[in-house]
Chain A
Amino acid sequence: MELSPDQTIFWQNGFVTINLTLVTTWGIMLFLIISAALLTQNLKTDIHISRWQCFLEMIVTGINGQIEEVGLKNPSAYIGFIGTLFLFIGVANIGIILPGYTPPTASLSTTTALAICVLLAVPFYGIGKSGFLGYLKSYLQPTWIMLPFNIISEVSRTLALAIRLFGNIMSGGMIIAILLSIAPFIFPVVMNALGLLTGTVQAYIFSILATVYIAAAIKNSNKKEPKKVKITT
């Protein structure tokens, strides 16, 4: 029994390996891009719009609203990254409804890649907001003693992101596979439905945590040192 789609290899040439994870990812990418390109072809700016446009607007403005709620003032600057995280993970996880489909998020390589993206995005947005030194200073908050802990926190939360998503999706797949062998009729359907919910929730958790990390980085780098006030008596 294969635990990860990475193990299904279609073509390999030394380091370069084309496995099921990559192929599925490309498929999802194509699906997302073609759908987006097709649905946004005839966008209307009137009061009356098509159902598809309304659906897309709901998704995009919903993501925008979530980003704003977390505390990022200008959500349109972050929607590209955070929205794509949500949509990619969400579509990848919901895809389990298709027979014979293995989500790319069940691969530790994919979740690691996404976690690394978040790890890189945090300093990217932090530096973009308050400069390189300003961002570095955030590691010294509230005091320089916290520097190693802050670095450990950064790495550990990236690992946590990767493992959490991988664990949830992989376990879901595993449970369904096991149940199929034990009780091939009713239970796999129920677990699949539960897997849809879990997959959507995980997409939400991953993207919202990424937003929180970015927001925290921006907030910390913006934080000014409190002025020392001399009290003379």
Chain B
Amino acid sequence: MDINWFTVIAQILNFLILVWLLKKFLYKPILNAVNEREKKITDELKHADIQKADAQSAQDDFKKKNHDFDAHKKALLDKAVDDVRIEKQHLMDAAKKDAKALGSKLDKAYNEQQEQNSKEVSQNIQGQVFSITRKALADIASIGLEEQSVAAFIKNLKAASKEEKQQFIDAFTPNSSTILIKSAFDLPAKQQDELTTSINEVLSSKTSLTFKTDPQLISGIELSTNGYTMGWSFSEYLNALQKTISQDIKANVTEQPKILEHVNS
């Protein structure tokens, strides 16, 4: 159990040599490798941080762009919807306008057609009625009836109002005018004299009359001078009736569009 001092010294030297050699071959290389790796890891972590920051930045950019894109898309969509709405409104207005115009045109055409039809029907009916009447009256017309017509004419002439008489006097020019008496049948001399006397009484002068036969009168007599006409005949009654009926039909036809317009609105 003694201490061998040579061994002690040798062991101290051995230990110091071992310290030096291990430092050179073990600790330094290992610590250097560890430090280098740590540095590398630190660098890589820094690099990763930078990349992360870049990625974050890129992500933020992307998010912003995406947001902008969405906003732009929404704006475009809204604008498109508005445009479509406006265009739809325009088209609807135009369509309504066209439809209205077409409706008006149709109404007008319908009215015209109706008017035309009414007119044609009225004219046909009128023509039929008057031709029947005319035929019937012509069938019953005779000399006796003609005499009654002259008598009725003279009676009317005498019973005429002052204004009517004055119109007849004003129309008549004594020197240059001739008075034409139209009748459906040839008037006998007696009736011609009666007529001449009555007219001269009205004119207060002696006038020669020209007598003419006109079967169109059917039955009756007509006096005309310088555009003034006065008479009593079936034809005149029929003409007056025809005029009145025509006016009534016309009034009825013009009333109808107003009713149609009211129905459309």
Contact = CB atoms under 8 A, between A and B. Distances in A.
Interface in A111-144: 112-114, 116-117
A19 B40 contact: no
A109 to B, nearest CB: 4
Contacts of A4: 1
Interface string A49-87: 100010011001100100000000000100111011001
Contacts of A15: 6
A60 B6 CA distance: 32
B29 A43 contact: yes
A57 B30 CA distance: 6
A53 B10 CA distance: 32
B8 A40 contact: no
B17 interface: yes
B38 to A, nearest CB: 9
A29 interface: yes
Contacts of A107: 4, 7
Contact of B26 (A22, A40, A47, A113): A40
Given A25-B11, A33-B25, A17 B30 contact: no
A32 B27 CA distance: 12
Nearest to B15: A117
Which of A60, A87, A114 has the most B CB atoms < 10 Å from its CB? A60
Contacts of B32: 43
Interface in A5-51: 6, 15-17, 19, 21-22, 25-26, 29, 32-33, 36-37, 40, 43-47, 49
Contacts of A64: 31
A191 B214 CA distance: 174
B155 interface: no
Given A110-B11, A114-B15, A33 B22 contact: yes
Contacts of A44: 33
B7 A17 contact: yes
A3 interface: yes
B23 interface: yes
Contacts of A43: 29-30, 32-33
Nearest to B21: A33
A114 B26 CA distance: 20
Contact of B11 (A49, A57, A114): A114
Contacts of B8: 109-110, 112-113, 116
B17 A29 contact: yes
Given A84-B15, A117-B15, A40 B7 contact: no
B15 A113 contact: yes
A131 B226 CA distance: 166
Nearest to A28: B18
Nearest to B41: A47
A25 B18 CA distance: 10
Given A25-B14, A32-B18, A47-B41, A112 B34 contact: no
B186 interface: no
A36 B3 CA distance: 31
A32 B26 CA distance: 9
Contacts of B25: 33, 36-37, 40
Contact of A84 (B22, B29, B30): B22
A117 B16 contact: yes
Contacts of A56: 26, 30
Contacts of A84: 15, 18-19, 22-23
A53 B31 CA distance: 11
Given A45-B33, A60-B34, A109 B3 contact: yes
Nearest to A20: B7
B94 interface: no
A22 B14 contact: yes
B14 A57 contact: no
A115 to B, nearest CB: 10
A27 B2 CA distance: 23
17 contacts: A4-B1, A29-B17, A32-B22, A36-B21, A40-B29, A43-B30, A44-B33, A46-B37, A76-B27, A80-B19, A83-B27, A84-B19, A88-B15, A109-B11, A110-B11, A113-B10, A114-B11
Given A25-B14, A79-B31, A109-B4, 17 more contacts: A6-B7, A19-B7, A22-B11, A25-B11, A29-B18, A32-B18, A32-B26, A43-B32, A56-B30, A79-B23, A81-B19, A83-B27, A107-B4, A109-B3, A109-B8, A110-B8, A114-B15
Query: Which A-B residue pairs are the 4 nearest by beta carbons?
Result: A113-B11, A109-B7, A36-B26, A80-B23
